[in-house]
Amino acid sequence: MYAALADGSRRTMVDRLSRGPATVKQLAEPLTMSLPAVLQHLRVLEESGLVRSEKVGRVRTCRLEPAALQQAEQWIADRRAGWTARLDRLEAFLEEDEQ
């Protein structure tokens, strides 16, 4: 899933989708690459669970899957929390030592 976010073009796509659903064409518009390339990025995003899409007529509409984003966010938050907790304990220890 972080692998999906590792690519700049894909982050641009996620950014676009965070402002609302979009078609493949619309996702491709700000990107300087061929449509097949965009399709491949979209596939990566879908496989990571970050994006869901469905086709109506000849138009495929994509939308963000906030639950997946939250999961990624949570992992980082947890590691960071562990680290700051450690710092707090160290601080408390130094404080205690001072007395």
Q: Which two tokens stand for residue 27?
A: 């996702």
How far apart (Å, rounded) are the C-alpha atoms in residues 11 and 45? 10
Closest distance of CB 6 from DNA, Å: 6
60 near DNA, rule: CB under 7 A: yes
Specify whether the CB–CB gap between 1 and 67 falls below 8 A: no
What number of other Cβ atoms are within 10 A of residue 11's Cβ? Answer: 12
Contact pick of 70, 91, 92, 93 for a second copy (by CB under 8 A): 70
Given the rule CB under 8 A, which residues bind a second copy? Answer: 2-3, 5-6, 11, 14-15, 17-20, 64, 66, 69-70, 72-73, 75-80, 82-84, 86
